[in-house]
């Protein structure tokens, strides 16, 4: 069995007081923050980081950590009216990005190591009773992230991954459906290319995105396998929004691309199992 371990660590990068868990499997490692239940680092080998965390990220005053793999739940983006019966001012992308999750399980097997984090909420205005959401992170030859809720309820979710890229102008995501919702204009767009490139702000929802996407960039490609989703979201804030965001540096937009595995349907009360699996190609 390759060298494998699961350990607690305090701090990640400049977030020196952040409670985290580190997974090691052979040469590969991953770091997960208990705050937000958020994977912050995936290195398939030492010095090869697939994820991006903003140098200006913070986790004080209920701020979500900008980077890694934030968990959006139980809504994506601005809260939908169905999930906000009292029309309260509610945060973007749900409420679990700023919760402290608990470590609820761990396994070490010859084929990989994994931890499960859990968070329980009993104050959702649109759902009576308590609901538990779990995040299982398994490190093996790939990194698999599984978000699960066994309660059949109205819920949206996204694994909002920030991928590090060397040069945004050489980054591309494909194959994507030809039809997407452009969140910037609010309209559906019919494209003639299944490839998204980045030379301006991009904020797109691709309904019915496939099971495998490829993020191409200067220093090697990443395969993103997904399941349980009904959409993929591709986002880069570009220059103006990087400048406006307190937790992004002016040039941060050159350093990452978000490719998000999302389930956005609000037609049915249903359980949730959303998976994103990452592999360096
Ligand atoms: O600033 P936040 O809440 O982390 O959101 C970042 C972005 O997340 C993306 O998923 C959305 O499509 C964008 O519209 C949004 O700006």
pLDDT in tens, 232-259: 999 999 999 999 999 999 999 999 999 9
Q: Cβ distance 256 to 49 under 8 Å?
A: no
b (16+ CB within 10 A) / e for 164-203: bbeebeebbbeebeeebbeeeeeeeeeeeeeebebeebbb
Residue % of the chain over a pLDDT of 70: 100
Segment 15-19 shows an average pLDDT of: 97
Out of 235, 238, 260, give the residue to mutate to test ligand 1, the one with the largest number of ligand atoms within 8 Å of its CB.
235
C-beta 203 within 6 A of ligand 1: yes
Return the pLDDT at 1.
Answer: 62
Domain count, the chain: 1
Which CATH number covers residue 8? 2.70.98.10
Predicted TM-score (pTM) of the model is 0.98
**Shortest-distance atom of ligand 1 to CA 97:** 4
Res 60: pLDDT:
81
176 confidence band (pLDDT: 50, 70, 90): very high
User: Which residues form the domain of 24?
Assistant: 4-280
Mutate to test the pocket of ligand 1, among 59, 203, 238 (most ligand atoms within 8 A of CB): 203
Q: Which of 228, 217, 175, 171 is nearest to 197 (CA)?
A: 171
Q: Is 204 in the pocket of ligand 1 (CB under 6 A)?
A: no
Please state, in angstroms and rounded to a whole number, the distance separating the CA atoms of residues 197 and 114: 34
């Amino acid at each position: 069995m390759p060298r494998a371990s699961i350990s607690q660590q305090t701090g990640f990068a400049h977030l020196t007081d952040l409670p985290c868990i580190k997974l090691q499997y052979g040469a590969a490692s991953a770091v997960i923050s208990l705050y937000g239940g958020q994977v912050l680092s995936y290195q398939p080998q030492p010095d090869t980081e697939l994820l991006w965390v903003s140098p200006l990220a913070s986790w004080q005053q209920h701020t979500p950590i900008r980077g890694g793999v934030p968990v959006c739940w139980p809504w994506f983006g601005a809260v939908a009216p169905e999930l906000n019966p009292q029309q309260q001012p509610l945060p973007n992308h749900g409420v679990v990005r700023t919760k402290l999750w608990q470590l609820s399980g761990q396994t070490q097997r010859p084929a990989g190591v994994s931890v499960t984090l859990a968070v329980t909420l009993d104050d959702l205005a649109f759902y009576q009773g308590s609901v538990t959401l779990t995040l299982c992170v398994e490190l093996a030859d790939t990194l698999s992230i599984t978000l699960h809720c066994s309660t059949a309820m109205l819920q949206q979710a996204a694994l909002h991954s920030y991928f590090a890229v060397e040069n945004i102008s050489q980054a591309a995501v494909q194959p994507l459906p030809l039809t997407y919702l452009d969140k910037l204009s609010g309209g559906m767009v019919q494209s003639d290319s299944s490839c998204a490139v980045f030379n301006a702000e991009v904020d797109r929802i691709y309904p019915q995105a496939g099971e495998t996407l490829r993020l191409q960039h200067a220093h090697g490609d990443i395969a993103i396998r997904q399941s349980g989703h009904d959409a993929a979201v591709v986002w880069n804030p570009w220059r103006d929004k990087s400048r406006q965001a307190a937790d992004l540096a002016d040039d941060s937009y050159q350093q990452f691309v978000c490719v998000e595995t999302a389930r956005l349907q609000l037609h049915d009360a249903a359980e949730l199992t959303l998976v994103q699996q990452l592999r360096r190609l």
